[in-house]
Amino acid sequence: MKTTLQLPFQLKGFLELGDAVLITDSNHIILDVNDTYQKVTGFEKSKIIGVKAGFIKSNLTNKETYCSMKDSLKQQIPWSGIFVNRKKSGELWHSSITITPFKIGNELYYIGIFRALEQLEEGLYISEDKKIEVQRELLKVLAISCEIRDPGTEEHLIRVQALTEKLLKAYNEKNNLQLEPNYMNNVIHSSILHDIGKAGMPEGILYKPGALSIYERKIIEMHPLTGADILNKMSKEINYDFIKSMEVAENIILYHHEKWDGTGYPFQLKGEQIPLEARVVSIVDVFDALTTCRPYKDSWSEEKALAFIDENKGKHFDPLIAETFISLF
């Protein structure tokens, strides 16, 4: 075992902290740990003094975290981050750690203070980017599972989501709306759910190659209500922060077939009675439907589809959003 420096008395006070504390020399050799560290990790102080601090690595912490830590400590500035280590039992230990360089005379020491993530307030250790990513994937899985009968559905949903993102951001910027980022993310992620109500529609009507009868059309026009019912039943069962805000999703599902002039369905809403998120998705959904081959129609060219949207602004579509959409091409 490597000979190490003795722990200076100036650092002994850190060992009284309630969080797990580990103190090393400049080579990251452990000089001392406190009782909390021993209790949490299961490693006895007498067994690990003189050992490199990284002995509890699990190889599950990403490389970028270690690079960031090394860069900061090389400059002798404090660093904070998330580590995934292993306890003596083999159990994973997720912890938030702050490492502070501490110079006494000519010697450099590092004070590591760990806090188990389970002790933190809910949500603090999950980054917003990660929450957004998980939300997006959860809603994608839900949407695709509801429309699994049609192998072309996934591509349609992904295209609608991508175009919704482009249109909403362009419309926000063009009109200086200063929409909240959280709201915009909700619209983008939830757009993929717009047609989940079709899961309750008979296949014979959904994929009928010819024109629908009046009766069949009435059944199809029920899919926004069916979709909202599916969403509400699911959200009652899942009490989880990632997907607990469903109002935007419900608006998209219920109202994306409403028309600006009030002739849409299922509620014949008119103009700005239709939520913004539904007005955005309405244009994107129609454009993708027109430019895609369906059992009952051939695909249109982009030019023809854009001309249709232009002709129907102020009738089917919000005119300002329609103009923004056309400008994207």
- State the pLDDT confidence band at 124, using cuts at 50, 70 and 90: very low
Q: Residue 318, exposed/middle/buried by CB under 10 A (0-12, 13-18, 19+)?
A: buried
- State the pLDDT confidence band at 10, using cuts at 50, 70 and 90: confident
pLDDT in tens, 277-286: 999 999 999 9
- State the pLDDT confidence band at 122, using cuts at 50, 70 and 90: very low
* pLDDT in the model for residue 84: 85
pLDDT in tens, 143-195: 655 554 555 567 888 899 999 999 999 999 999 999 998 899 889 988 988 98
Please state the rounded mean pLDDT for residues 16-30.
92
Give the span between the Cα atoms of 100 and 78, in whole angstroms.
4
**Domain residue limits, the chain:** 9-119, 128-327
Asked if the domains at 9-119 and 128-327 fall in one CATH topology, the answer is no
User: Does the structure show a pLDDT above 70 at 126?
Assistant: no
Does the annotation count 169 as an active-site position? no
Instruction: Please give the CATH number for the structural domain made up of 9-119.
Output: 3.30.450.20
Please state the rounded mean pLDDT for residues 237-254.
70
Please state the rounded mean pLDDT for residues 302-312.
97
pLDDT in tens, 279-306: 999 999 999 999 987 766 788 999 999 9
Instruction: Please give the CATH number for the structural domain made up of 128-327.
Output: 1.10.3210.10
* Higher per-residue confidence, 236 vs 269: 269
Which of 44-53, 62-71, 236-245 is predicted with the least confidence, judged by mean pLDDT? 236-245
Catalytically annotated residue among 198, 236, 244, 270: 198
